[in-house]
Chains A and B, each alone.
Chain A
Amino acid sequence: MGGYVVSNAVVALLGVGAAFTVRAVRRSRFWSDAARELARRRPLALLAIAVYVGVGLADSVSWIDAAGGVQGVEAHTPRSLIDRAFPAGFQERSYSAPFAEVEFYGGAPLEHPGAHWFGTDILGRDVLHLTLKGARIALLIGGLTSLIVIPLALLFGMSAGYLGGRVDDAVFFVISTLASIPNLLLLIALILALGRGPVQVCVAMGVTSWVGFARIVRGETFKLRELDYVQAARALGASEARIVLRHILPNVMHLVVITFVLLFSGTVLSEAILSFLGIGIDGSWGQMIDQARDELARDPIIAWNLAAASVALFLLILAVNRVGDAVRDILDPRTLVEDL
């Protein structure tokens, strides 16, 4: 029951966090220049991501009431802003094509003729509604998994890279061990141990994918540690912790942003494969794709299910990858080669 309360709280938290980051970015010239340059290079992709995040957040704010003429169990289940955007009981008996007046099979009149822009699925649920709800799950998968991976990778990677010696060996041991266990086994074991909810799947995916990033951070920290300005800081008597936080972490931030983007699209895409194995997340686009893949075999084809979910997934990943590209060029000085 408490699920939706937690979700509302998280949305509020995100709002505060966002405000705080905007203020921080505006204060630092480097990051505000980068932000302005990013907006200049990828306006469309940023807009697309904003839309997805907006839909995702709208779908996360929900409460229980009987507004909109809802009755029966509906009146007692939390409904989000997105749910409320659709009339109560907006369900048909089974398949219907986009904007159709009649059912796809048998031609019986629909309860809401012409109202389903993306048609309805086998259970008669509105595909547009399902696709919109998929946004929240995709953002959750990508975002939450990255939130688990990045701190873990930073902690292990930087401590290994900076301290070296036995710590480096120990971390490298953990990295190699985790990397050679098939991540599917880790996933299934964790999911069966933690249960099947979306958060559990994200934790499982996070734990299995921080290894790659940790190795990159370790390499980068190893290099940074030798650079002159770090030696200089040490010469000035700065404490080890201060050096790591003030000097190494900011120089690894661009890596963090780039990896967040790659990780995001990677995890969202791999969720589709988990759905194929039956351990994906309910309501995700991956699951919609898996459900709809048999519908291509029909004649005439039922493609709107597959199309809606795959286009939604494709555009998000495309936008994230495009932004990722630009972010890497802007933040990673090496590729910013000016020659005259």
Chain B
Amino acid sequence: MIGYALRRLLYGFLVVQGVLGLLFVLFFLYAEPMDMARRAVGEKAPPAVLKLWIQEHGYDRPWTDQLRDHYVRMLSFDFGRSDADEVPIARRLREGVGPSLSFTVPTFALGLVLGVALSLFVAYFRETYIDRTGVVIAVLAMSVSILLYIIGSQYLIGKILNWFPISGFDPDPRVLPRFVAMPILIGVVAGIGGDLRFYRTVFVEETSRDYVRTARAKGCGDGRVMAFHVLRNALIPILTRVVTAIPFLFTGSLLIESFFGIPGLGAVTVEAIQGNDFSTLRVMVFIGALAFILFQIVTDFTYTLVDPRVRLE
């Protein structure tokens, strides 16, 4: 077991190297230091000032030095400061991760519980009205662009029903639910379609297995058969889908955060890309890659917990 973990960690380390290298190439493929300086200092700054900025940030050094420095700093977790506004990136992440998690985690949890429960319900009633209607509603929910969900909900719930503020954010727990209610609703509705169809297929497959008949023959109620026996056997595909979504909880959602005014990390990557802010971008990508690798290993380990037949050789 430990050998496997070490091998995967080493492997992950290699991938992170690859990611940082590819990121370096891609970024400097489309942005030159002059653009970055102009973005940071301001459009009207004279060329001399821009050159000074480039020197200070070391983007005038030969690319080999820059690449080495890029690797060293990232691997020593020295995130440094953003090119755009010199704010320490670690502080920006700390400030932004809370608001992002405040709506992505509930959306993820609610979406998971609702998705699994509804799929079990629909899979149990396979080929009946419940099944057919459930799948049609799922496909309907999937086919709508999230932009329309946002506009529609702000119009209907924010403006006509006036139940929740149209946008805004306040970390105070007494008030927070009011601000994150709509983003969560949208997140769940937009995601439930895809989840329902995926989980339903997995559960339908499992309900046809013989052990389900044994369980019912020994007196298990339908609820227990579905929620315990079938669900436990379907955990591997579910886990694969669920665990790969976890890293994205931290980066929040660009659209929801910009329309609902949530000061999370949703826009950080996009703003870094459009604002030619290389130092922030490489931190976001570095953390993203690390999370991706770690969670992949976590997924493998959860397989062993969930299914005795799986051994990590």
Q: B208, A339: Cβ atoms under 8 Å?
A: yes
Q: CB of B230 within 8 A of chain A? A: no
**A254-292 Cβ-contact flags toward B at 8 Å (1 or 0):** 000000000001000100110011000000001001100
Q: B269, A185: Cβ atoms under 8 Å?
A: yes
Q: CB of A340 within 8 A of chain B? A: no
Interface residues of A, count at CB 8 A: 41
Q: B142, A317: Cβ atoms under 8 Å?
A: yes
Q: B147, A177: Cβ atoms under 8 Å?
A: no
Asked, given contacts A177-B15, A180-B15, A313-B145, whether A334 binds B205 with beta carbons under 8 Å apart, the answer is yes
**B145-166 Cβ-contact flags toward A at 8 Å (1 or 0):** 1111001000100000000000
In the complex, what residues of A have CB within 8 A of residue B281's CB?
185
Interface residues of B, count at CB 8 A: 43
Q: A322, B15: Cβ atoms under 8 Å?
A: no
Residue A189 contacts which of B18, B30, B255, B293 (CB distance < 8 angstroms)? B30
Q: How far is the CA of A148 from the CA of B32 in the complex (A)?
A: 30
- Chain B: CB-nearest residue to A318: B143
Q: How far is the CA of A313 from the CA of B143 in the complex (A)?
A: 8
Q: CB of A337 within 8 A of chain B? A: yes
Within 8 A of A (CB), among B187-219: 197, 201, 204-205, 208
Q: How far is the CA of A325 from the CA of B140 in the complex (A)?
A: 13
Within 8 A of B (CB), among A147-201: 169, 173, 176-182, 184-186, 188-189, 192-193
Q: CB of B305 within 8 A of chain A? A: no
Q: CB of B106 within 8 A of chain A? A: no
Q: B15, A182: Cβ atoms under 8 Å?
A: no
Q: CB of B1 within 8 A of chain A? A: no
Query: Nearest Cβ in chain A — how far from B39, in angstroms?
Result: 14
Query: Nearest Cβ in chain B — how far from A220, in angstroms?
Result: 13
Nearest first, the 3 closest Cβ-Cβ pairs linking A and B are A317-B143, A180-B289, A192-B30
| A residues adjacent to B (C-beta < 8 A) | 169, 173, 176-182, 184-186, 188-189, 192-193, 265, 269, 272-273, 276-277, 286, 289-290, 293, 296, 306, 310, 313-314, 317-318, 321-322, 325, 328, 334-335, 337, 339
